Amino acid sequence: MIAKPFLSIEGITMRFSRGGATTEVLRDVDLTLTKGEYVSIIGHSGCGKSTLLNIVAGLTQATQGVVLLEDKVVDAPGPDRGVVFQNHSLLPWLTVYENVSLAVDKVFGRTKSAPERREWVMKNLELVHMGHAKDKRPSEISGGMKQRVGIARALAMEPKILLLDEPFGALDALTRAHLQDQVMQIQANLGTTVMMITHDVDEAVLLSDRIVMLTNGPSAGIGEILDVPLARPRDRIKLAADPTYLKCRQAVLKFLYERNRFVEAA
Ligand SMILES: Nc1ncnc2c1ncn2[C@@H]1O[C@H](COP(=O)(O)OP(=O)(O)OP(=O)(O)O)[C@@H](O)[C@H]1O
Ligand SMILES: [Mg+2]
């Protein structure tokens, strides 16, 4: 039985025009995600990963094609899609608490009372272990902490899907590992559907149910889709020597470095 698609990306083509010149970044991308699935998109720099995520987020309008979330057309940003950008996008003049409560008030302003909203903000900050820093401003916390607040803010909106654009990219290896584990745990507990952009092969294999590999641009498309049949919960230490893990890793490396080697655009 094929599970019903939750997110459906259908025939997405994206062209950017400037002056008389047009570049086709994505061509004919078709992809469906089922509910609760964790899907990573991997590909070389500049191939169009963020462009695809922005289209799903409703921040960019595709030239052709359509995105459906639970059968509804996506044509604008909305609280049903929680986006976490690579460069933490907290408002610097607000505290950690206020950054999250701004989003919570927007989404639940009419349905939850003020005390309920307060409790909800704190619950989501606790989820990423940031409750203790609620009164700090972004300039007073580390990059990893900012990223955790960004994730709390996205989760607090109770989105149908989390869209993560290289959420751990700017972090040191230890913080990255810690945060990846937290996201895996949150996803296991809440059953959130996730679409994550990355160019880290190990991260893709560790976190994903499926890995979508994009070909190099221009006119990038889906080259291959790899299933990652590893049981959850996943333990990074044990997996390091697991034959299935190593096979998946090898397949992605092969795709990226043999079949679709990175070529710097002129
Ligand atoms: N608004 C825009 N106008 C014109 N060109 C754009 C625009 N946004 C993106 N592009 C181009 O589209 C291509 C894909 O960009 P995109 O940001 O999606 O790449 P990416 O795969 O996310 O790269 P990276 O891994 O470096 O983040 C690039 O060549 C970029 O210059
Ligand atoms: Mg990008």
pLDDT digits (tens, 9 = 90+) for 182-212: 899 889 988 999 999 998 999 999 999 999 9
Contact 84, 151 (CB under 8 A): yes
Residue 11 has pLDDT above 60, yes or no: yes
233: preceding bond cis by omega (within 30 degrees): yes
% residues pLDDT > 90 (the chain): 77
Q: Give me the pLDDT at residue 104, please.
A: 96
219-246 pLDDT, tens digit each: 999 999 999 999 999 999 999 999 999 9
Q: What are the backbone dihedrals phi and psi of residue 188, each rounded to the nearest 5 degrees, phi first?
A: -65, -40
The CA 48 to ligand 2 mean position distance, Å, reads: 7
Mean pLDDT of the chain: 92
Q: How many CA atoms lie within 13 A of 60 on its CB side?
A: 20
- The DSSP secondary structure of the chain, one letter per residue, reads -PPPEEEEEEEEEEEEEETTEEEEEEEEEEEEEETT-EEEEE--TTSSHHHHHHHHHTSS--SEEEEEETTEE--S--TTEEEE-SS----TTS-HHHHHHHHHHHHHTTTS-HHHHHHHHHHHHHHTT-GGGTT--GGGS-HHHHHHHHHHHHHHT--SEEEEESTTTTS-HHHHHHHHHHHHHHHHHH--EEEEEE--HHHHHHH-SEEEEEPPSSSB-EEEEEE----SS--HHHHTT-HHHHHHHHHHHHIIIIIT------
Residue 54 has pLDDT above 70, yes or no: yes
Residue 266 has pLDDT above 60, yes or no: no
> Do 131 and 174 share a domain, yes or no?
no
Q: Give me the pLDDT at residue 176, please.
A: 86
Q: Give me the pLDDT at residue 89, please.
A: 83
- Among 158, 180, 197, the domain-final residue is 158
Q: What CATH number did the domain enclosing 259 receive?
A: 3.40.50.300
Structure tokens belonging to residue 214? 């994009």
The CA 77 to ligand 2 mean position distance, Å, reads: 18
The CA 188 to ligand 1 mean position distance, Å, reads: 32
> Do 246 and 231 share a domain, yes or no?
yes
Residue nearest to atom 9 of ligand 1 (CA): 51
Residues having CB within 6 Å of any atom of ligand 1? 16, 25, 43, 45-51, 199, 217
- Among 127, 158, 189, the domain-final residue is 158
The CA 96 to ligand 2 mean position distance, Å, reads: 25
Of all ligands present, the nearest one to the C-alpha of 44 is: 1
Residue nearest to atom 8 of ligand 1 (CA): 51
- Among 120, 141, 158, the domain-final residue is 158
> Do 188 and 70 share a domain, yes or no?
yes
Cα 24 from chain centre: 23
Of all ligands present, the nearest one to the C-alpha of 21 is: 1
Structure tokens belonging to residue 125? 């900050």
70-107 pLDDT, tens digit each: 999 999 999 999 999 877 789 999 999 999 999 999 99
249-261 pLDDT, tens digit each: 999 999 999 877 7
127-164 pLDDT, tens digit each: 888 999 999 999 999 988 998 899 899 989 989 999 99
Q: Residue 135: give the domain boundaries.
A: 88-158
Compute the average pLDDT of residues 63-69: 98
Residue nearest to atom 7 of ligand 1 (CA): 16
Q: Give me the pLDDT at residue 208, please.
A: 98
Q: Give me the pLDDT at residue 95, please.
A: 97
Residues with CB in 5 Å of ion ligand 2: 50
> Do 74 and 166 share a domain, yes or no?
yes
Of all ligands present, the nearest one to the C-alpha of 60 is: 1
> Do 75 and 104 share a domain, yes or no?
no
Neighbours of 232 (CB within 10 A): 10
> Domain total for the chain?
2
Residue nearest to atom 26 of ligand 1 (CA): 45
